[in-house]
Structure 1
Amino acid sequence: MSGMLTSADAHPADYPTVRAVEFMGRFLSEKTNGRLGIKVFAGGQLGNETDTLEITSFGGLDFNRVNFAPLNSIEPMTLPFSLPFVFDSVDHMRRVVDSAVGDKVLASMEPHGLIGLAIYDSGARNFYNMRRPIRTPEDMRGLKIRVPASDLYVAMVNALGANAVPIPFSEIYQSLAQGVIDGAENNWPTFVGERHYEVANYLSITEHLLTPEALVMSKASYDALDPADRSLVRQAAKRSVIEMRRLWDARVQEAKDVIDRSDVRVNPVNKAPFAGLMRPVWDQFITTWAQRRIVDAILAMREG
């Protein structure tokens, strides 16, 4: 196989995941004297992640960067990475996904027509609201917190004592400004980039989710490559993780600098009382022995 391979990403063109796949394309081009490359269609040009995932599994797209949420619905082994408070830090999450645990989760996608190539960051998500600091789960009582349309997010927020309100991402700012919701949750770059900090000036560092993202390749496209090119693709994907993390960490720091100069009140959180309320949520979504093995392996890799 030769020529320009295609890749989809819902994130905008300057996003770290998009730039990481472009880095991968340059790596492939250099190693093959221009015979292979990657064209990235960013900003959701080819549809939402559920749609592009289906297209990729059928071979209509070569690569796809997706959140774990749409993968959760097709492969149960991806669910443990999406559990609230399963990772206790960014370092812990990266240690897990770089290990045999990450390899096992990536390999689980193959029966669905997908080759799991790499696991990227999606940031540590924190709660922010316009009412009060959240230091304990009691502080969440009665708060209307926006969540994505996800059963897992709804179960998590409700288990913490707040009221989960699923609304589209694009409506968060307006809903906060109008008091339709009291708060939301997301990572540092989104909190700043979407200007949510202008209307929600209490940020609590809960880091309740560190769900990563995946770079997958169509199995049909992968199988069409000769063995040497397959090896190159895997090598390029691993290298792209380093680039993605470099770009991501810089973006997080930029967002923190903006918040330092703002009126937002940032408070640390003792995560243990929050994590202690997650057992029913974990039990609702982790239902097989194989999934529990993954969860146990993740927990065993915590420091201390």
Structure 2
Amino acid sequence: MLIYPHPRPRRLLLQRLLPGLCAFLLLLLAPSCREISDKKEIKLAHSLEVSHPVHQAMLYMAERLKEKSGGTLSIGIYPNSQLGSERESVELLQIGSLGMTKVSAATMESFSPNFKVLSLPYIFRDKAHFFSVLEGEIGQELLTEGEQYWLRGLTYYDAGSRSFYTASKPINTPDDLKGLKIRVQASNTAIQMVNAFGGAATPISTGEIYTALQQGVVDGAENNPPTFHLSRHYEVARHYALNEHTMVPDILLVSTKVWEKLTPQEQQWLQEAAEESAVVQRKLWQEAEEEALREVKKAGVEVSYPDKEPFAKMVEPLYESYKTEPEVYSLIKRIQAAGKNPQAQPAP
């Protein structure tokens, strides 16, 4: 005899689940800048873990904004890709369904093309040069340039230097990359760079990298030390060569559709809180880099420091390839000249 389950437990289960499902749907449909009486809340989503320095800086920004506005303007933060991937978050900003997000400059080049200049290998001589460009005229131009695409940059976050890590063999010279499949971001600049080194650039989404390394779909990848550590990629890629080929910053974005709804005073509070959070994030980032390298070394990863000069020489032709894009080529020349002397930055 067949015994059918009583429908009552199913009804009870649905009754328990329904409020949570409704709350989730309401969250997705909620406006990006919600007004509650005389208060406003901006929704900020990103793909990072809560232990990441950028998330910690965002928490600081939210607290400072609350203090500056006397509680009338706040930020609701949704980490860990709760509201979508990095690219999806940017697209939500463009239509005004999301208020703010963090995006890599490498991803941003798909939305605002001139950002590709920040992803060029060895375009920055050192950290001092990097920060002087971002904080100067060039960096500020790029932040506001995205407004024509409904994306306003508020500030830059330090994302360190990206370097190669591999599963099978160490990378000591560019020749060691020949024939290796290297995972890169969905960035034409990153693809051109790896191919220039003789590798085979393979764009794969962030969430698939660990399995791709484990199963040999790719031979290696490239990223900064904290991400290499927090993603646990060091468990399947035991060689980390700090050749530091790129310094690609993160960018804190706000939807222009949300920005324009704020009063001038609210815009000022938000801008100030964002810039203050960037100062905090730099300090947190430096600490995270030091800790990450300690931990992966402790886990048995072979960390090497190859000579950067041969790598830099091999990608120099990439700069000249942008002569067909006058705006980008002008930015390259201005960045290269920046910091060498007070009159170094020619007009656009």
What's the TM-score once normalised by structure 1's chain length?
0.91
1:28 to 65, 76, 97: 65
Further displaced range: 38-47 or 286-295: 286-295
Q: Secondary structure at the match of 1:192?
A: helix
In percent, how many aligned pairs have the same letter?
35
CA contact (8 A) 1:202 1:265 kept: yes
- Which segment is superposed worse, 278-287 or 17-26? 278-287
Cross-structure match for 1:294: 331
Q: Which residue number corresponds to residue 7 of structure 1?
A: 44
Identify the residue that residue 16 of structure 1 maps to in structure 2: 53
Q: How does 1:210-221 map to 2 (within 5 A)?
A: 210-221=247-258
In the other structure, the counterpart of 1:146 is 183
Alignment of 1:165-184 (within 5 A): 165-184=202-221
Please say which of residues 62-71 and 246-255 is displaced more in the overlay.
Answer: 62-71
- SS at the partner of 1:109? helix
Residue of structure 1 in register with 2:233 after alignment: 196
Query: Offset at 1:159?
Result: 0.9
On the 8 A contact 2:119/2:190 being kept in 1, the answer is: no
Cα 1:59–1:144, aligned 2, differ >3 Å: closer, same or farther? closer
Amino acid at match of 1:159: A
Larger Rg: 2
User: What is residue 112 of structure 1 aligned with on the other side?
Assistant: 149
Matched, 1:281 2:318: yes
2:82 matched to 1:45? Answer: yes
Larger RCO (CA within 8 A; separation ≥ 6): 1
Q: Which residue in 1 is equivalent to 2:308? A: 271
1:95–1:171 Cα change, 3 Å: same
Match of 2:286 among 249, 267, 280: 249
Does the Cα contact within 8 Å between 1:90 and 1:124 map onto a contact in 2?
A: no
CA shift for structure 1 position 241 = 0.4
Is the partner of 1:108 in helix, strand or coil? helix
In structure 1, what is the Cα distance between the partners aligned to 2:286 and 2:85?
26
Structure 1 contact 25–36 (Cα < 8 Å) conserved: no
Unmatched runs of 5 consecutive residues or more in structure 2: 1-37, 342-348
Q: CA separation in 2, counterparts of 1:248 and 1:137?
A: 28
Counterpart residue type for residue 250 of structure 1: E
Taking only aligned residues, the RMSD between alpha carbons, in angstroms, comes to 2.1
- In structure 2, the residue corresponding to 1:92 is in which secondary structure? helix
Q: Report SS of the residue matched to 1:73.
A: coil
1:222-233 equivalence runs, <5 A: 222-233=259-270
Supply the distance in 2 between the matched residues of 1:172 and 1:211 (Cα, whole angstroms): 19
TM-score for both structures, normalised by structure 2:
0.81
Q: 2: distance between equivalents of 1:256 and 1:170? A: 22
Q: Is the 8 A contact 1:79 1:285 kept in 2?
A: no
* Distance in 2, Cα, partners of 1:163 & 1:246: 35
2:158–2:285 contact (8 Å) kept in structure 1: yes
Stretches of 4+ aligned residues off by more than 4 angstroms: 283-286
- Post-superposition shift, 1:284? 4.7
The number of residue pairs the alignment matches comes to: 304
Unaligned runs of at least 5 residues, structure 1:
none
Deviates more, 1:64-73 or 1:32-41: 64-73
